[in-house]
Every structure is written in C-alpha cells, then in structure tokens.
Amino acid sequence: MRETRSATIARDFNVSPASIASLNKLSDPNKLRIGQILEIPGATPPPTTPQHPLPAALKTSLDKTPVRAGRWKYIVIHHSATDRGSAQGMDHYHRYKRHMENGLAYHFVIGNGKGMPDGQIAVGQRWRSQLNGGHLRSEAQNRVAIGICLVGNYNETTPTPAQMRSLSALTTYLMQRTRINATGVRLHRQINTRPTECPGKKFPAKAFMQTLP
Ligand SMILES: [Zn+2]
C-alpha cells in the first residue's frame, strides 16, 4: 500500500491540510489509504442529489400514486398555528367541524413530536386520490395547489430541524413528480387571496427555499 499525504491533496484543491483532516476526522493526515474517499472543504454536492432524500419506504409508497401531467401548479406551505396536532386530529376537525366531505384539507402533514412523531410525513387521502385541496380561500387555487401543513405555531416558535428536513425532502420529491419549479413553491401568505400570516412570522422561508433544486 502506498502512502499519500493529504498535504498534496490540500495543495491541489487550494485548501488547508488541517481543514481536510478535521472534516474527514483523520487521525494521521499523512497516511491515507488508496481509494479512500475524502470530503474537500467548500466543495458542494452535485445539484441532482437532494439535500434530504425521503425515507425509501415512503418514496416507494408515494411512487405508486399516479400523477397526471399538469395536474398541479403550486406547492403551498402552511402551519397548523397550534402547539400540537396530528393528521388524524386535523382530518376529524375538517370533516366534522368544518364539514369538508373529503376531510383533511391538506395533502400532507408533517409532525412536530407533539401528537405525531417529529418529522413524520403523513400522506393524506387527498394526495392518494389526487383530490383538490381544501387549504386555500380560492377554489380555483385549491384545484391546482398541493397543501403541506407543518404542525406548530410559527408565530411563537420555529419548526423543528426534523420537520425542515422532511419538508425539504417532500417538496423536492413533489417538484420532481409534478414538474413544478421553485417559483411554484409558495407560502400560504404568498398565494392566498385574503391576508394571512400563515405559516407564521418565524417560518424560515429563505433557508427553506435554498434547500430546493
Ligand atoms: Zn395556511
């Protein structure tokens, strides 16, 4: 086995040997194995790799739902404006209190650990059956807008890291499935025909948009 020095690689990439050693947790930066894969500081992953992929089982399950070309034009992000909640609880509320015959107004719900596991993505019947949403004031918009609701009140707190990873993964997946680009990804307040704060003042919109392809 030949020995390679990370100092040589550092020079080639114009970065410091110490930064390579710390990023790759190298005990001895002067000894590298042939074929060892190193991360180079400042290097960005290829753009085709989603930052946060969906769990494989969920992706397999979502892949089974046929999506007609042109069916959807927007992906709209909401918060529940409550500290806790679940897809089941919201379904009950929308079905029996708001009298929506298709129940849960959103296509997806992402839990925050209170009422539903943190970061868990619940797939609603409106997605499975490709039904219109019930999450916007305008029925014309509901016909073409996928609704994702994060459990939490983001006027008070921020989403959990697990929620943001799941939201990024789900939105990226849906953009690919529906051929919607980043301009079609909207916060509720950016699309609603009546003023709303949804998804809350503390929702990290800019950081979220940066995770999208
Ligand atoms: Zn909303």
- What residues does each domain of the chain span? 1-43, 56-210
- Please give the DSSP secondary-structure letter assigned to residue 4: B
Closest CA to 135 of 147, 126, 123, 122: 147
Q: Which CATH architecture has domain 56-210?
A: 3-Layer(aba) Sandwich (3.40)
Quick: pLDDT tens for 55-73: 999 999 999 999 999 999 9
For residue 38, with 0-12 CB atoms within 10 Å meaning exposed, 13-18 middle and 19 or more buried, which class applies? middle
**pLDDT at residue 28 above 90?**
no
Q: What is the mean pLDDT of residues 173-183?
A: 97
CA 9 – ligand 1 centroid, Å:
50
Q: How confident is the model at residue 3 (pLDDT cuts 50, 70, 90)?
A: very low
Closest CA to 86 of 56, 110, 51, 102: 110
CA 132 – ligand 1 centroid, Å:
15
Global confidence as pTM: 0.77
**pLDDT at residue 86 above 70?**
yes
Beta-sheet strand order (sheet of 74-79): 121-123, 108-110, 145-150, 74-79, 185-187
Q: Which CATH architecture has domain 1-43?
A: Roll (3.10)
For residue 70, with 0-12 CB atoms within 10 Å meaning exposed, 13-18 middle and 19 or more buried, which class applies? exposed
Instruction: List CB-based neighbours of ion ligand 1 within 5 Å.
Output: 78, 188, 198
**pLDDT at residue 161 above 90?**
yes
CA 18 – ligand 1 centroid, Å:
47
